[in-house]
């Protein structure tokens, strides 16, 4: 019994020493844990100026430990060094040159491309509500053409007159053709003798009452072909 008591007295200090050692180790680990903290720096700029991008920051381990030590003592929890970000400061609309008018003789419409700087049009909508127009009215008369009718009948059927023709705008309104160029001649000189005829009057008395004279008569209007005699010898009439 005396020896048992002696052994128990000898074992008790050893257990106390082991407990003290374990407690000291825990305190050292806690101290190291407290010193080894992941400390993030200020976040940098967003990777884009218009839309959703990534923001990066440096994470350093304070207390003189390495990054791996920080991760080890922090139960492998790593402080994030990136995060999503949204930035609109660089958003702006970009327009291409206007295209050609879709009409060549009259009023039409022309188009242009409207894009956001990052090609995501919704991002520009989020920042700027006023959107440049993609279309606008236009007028083009470069393709206007006049179409002429056939020449009309001559204004006279016996002699010299004039004949007319009309012009229509072939592919648009008349005012657009007129603004492009005036029509060609709408009238010209013409000749027509289809209805010409000689009007012959009666012979007048002989020009003399004694001897040889002339008979005369009136002839009006001319025509193509034989012209009737105006004067004839009337000496025989007196004999």
Encode the chain (239 residues) as per-residue pLDDT tens digits.
545 554 555 555 555 555 555 555 555 555 544 444 545 556 678 888 777 889 888 776 766 556 666 666 655 456 677 888 888 777 778 889 999 999 999 999 999 988 887 656 666 776 666 788 999 999 999 999 999 999 999 998 888 899 999 999 999 999 999 999 988 889 999 998 888 887 788 888 888 888 888 878 877 775 544 445 555 555 443 33
Q: Which two tokens stand for residue 228?
A: 């009737």
**What local confidence, expressed as pLDDT, does residue 101 receive?**
95
Q: 161: exposed, middle or buried (C-beta count within 10 Å: 0-12, 13-18, 19+)?
A: middle
Tell me what pLDDT residue 235 has.
45
- The CA angle 171-173-176, to the nearest 5 degrees, is 95
Q: What's the gap between Cα 108 and its chain centre?
A: 11
pLDDT for res 114: 85
What is the distance between the alpha carbons of residues 178 and 169, in angstroms, rounded to a whole number? 8
Query: Which stretches of 113-234 are DSSP H helices?
Result: 121-127, 174-180
pLDDT at 176: 94
Using alpha carbons, select from 73, 71, 80 the residue that is nearest to residue 40.
80
pLDDT of residue 127: 67
Q: Taking the complete model, does pTM exceed 0.75, yes or no?
A: no
CA angle, residues 101, 103, 105, in degrees to nearest 5: 125
């Amino acid at each position: 019994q005396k020896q048992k008591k002696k052994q128990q007295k000898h074992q008790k200090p050893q257990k106390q020493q082991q407990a003290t050692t374990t407690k000291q180790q825990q305190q050292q680990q806690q101290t190291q844990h407290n010193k080894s903290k992941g400390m993030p720096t200020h976040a940098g700029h967003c990777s884009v100026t218009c839309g959703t991008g990534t923001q990066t920051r440096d994470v350093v381990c304070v207390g003189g430990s390495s990054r791996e030590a920080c991760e080890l003592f922090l139960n492998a929890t790593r402080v994030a060094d990136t995060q999503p970000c949204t930035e609109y400061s660089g958003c702006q609309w970009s327009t291409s040159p206007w295209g050609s008018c879709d009409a060549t003789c009259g009023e039409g419409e022309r188009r242009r491309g409207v894009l956001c700087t990052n090609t995501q049009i919704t991002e520009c909508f989020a920042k700027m509500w006023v959107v440049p127009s993609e279309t606008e009215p236009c007028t083009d008369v470069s393709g206007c053409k006049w179409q002429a009718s056939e020449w009309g009948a001559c204004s006279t059927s016996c002699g010299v007159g004039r004949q007319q023709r009309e012009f229509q705008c072939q592919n648009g309104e008349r005012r657009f053709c007129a603004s492009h160029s005036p029509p060609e001649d709408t009238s010209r000189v013409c000749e027509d003798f289809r209805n010409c005829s000689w009007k012959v009057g009666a012979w007048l008395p002989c020009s003399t009452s004694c001897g040889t004279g002339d008979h005369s008569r009136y002839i009006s209007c001319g025509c193509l072909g034989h012209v009737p005699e105006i004067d004839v010898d009337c000496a025989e009439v007196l004999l």
